[in-house]
Amino acid sequence: MTAERLKRAILDRRCLTAWYRGTERRFALHALGLKADGTPAAFAFQYGGGTTTNLPARGEWRCFDLDQLADIQQNGDRWRTPPNYNLARQTCLAEILLSIPER
């Protein structure tokens, strides 16, 4: 069950590996919710793997449509929350259902 696996990753602060739009991504999931159009989505910090755009070496915040994530697995990588984590400034989720608290 994808939703339960994603919720558990947030609650336990576990990094994940998943396929998204044809590339394998490594990320720390920070929030689940709904986009403005009602699409279920995840706000995550991607630090490794592929992408259809450039991924800076330090990583970058990403918005993933949940129905596009496949083969989701915990990967054992170190948890990452960059200092710029700010739910009020993110534009991915219009409604946040579950999130990592800000520091």
Q: Which stretches in the chain have pLDDT values below 70?
A: 1
Distances (CA, A) of 36 to 44, 74, 88, 100, 103: 17, 28, 15, 20, 26
Per-residue pLDDT, 94: 98
Report how far residue 66's alpha carbon sits from residue 5's, in angstroms, rounded to the nearest whole number.
Answer: 12
The residue range of the domain holding 60 is 2-99
Per-residue pLDDT, 74: 96
Per-residue pLDDT, 103: 73
Overall number of domains in the chain: 1
Per-residue pLDDT, 60: 95
Helix, strand counts (H, E) of the chain: 1, 6
pTM recorded for the entire structure: 0.93
Portion of the chain with pLDDT greater than 70, in percent? 99
